[in-house]
Amino acid sequence: MAEQINYKFGLLYFYWLMAGADGKRSTNNDDPEWIMMQKMKKFEEITDKELDDFLHRDLGKEEDQIEKILFALVITHHRDRVRALAWMDIIMFADGYLHDNEEYLYNKVRNKFEIDEFEIKRMKQYLIDATSDL
């Protein structure tokens, strides 16, 4: 059966790569990046089943995952691309440290879609405000 790639799965792939870019990916409830992912999951209406299905699939090599992210975002609306990048901006700073690989991945996607950083920062603030009580 062919893998269905959509915005939600693209977002999860993006998170997975971003969270592991510093070599310290964790699914512990006290991990700052995982905490933000849980807020993202709730806001984006990603079900427990969708997350579980994602975590139990063969994710492939990093290059394949990047291609899946790009494919998932190319078929979405511009606002969704901005939102995905805003989430990753939040996640890459959640632990208080910006790793070079996180910045590289973020910029690779941002540059691919030629999205202005100001637009992402506005969306980031919206997401922070919208999820502050989650």
pLDDT in tens, 75-90: 999 999 999 999 999 9
pLDDT band of residue 1 (cuts 50, 70, 90) is very low
pLDDT band of residue 20 (cuts 50, 70, 90) is confident
DSSP H/E element including 17: helix 7-20
**Domains of the chain from N-terminus onward:** 7-130 (1.10.3680.10)
| 105 neighbors 66 (Cβ within 8 angstroms) | yes
pLDDT in tens, 39-78: 999 999 999 999 998 888 888 888 888 888 888 999 999 9
pTM: 0.89
Mean pLDDT computed over 88-97 = 90
Between the two ends of the chain, the Cα-to-Cα distance in Å is 35
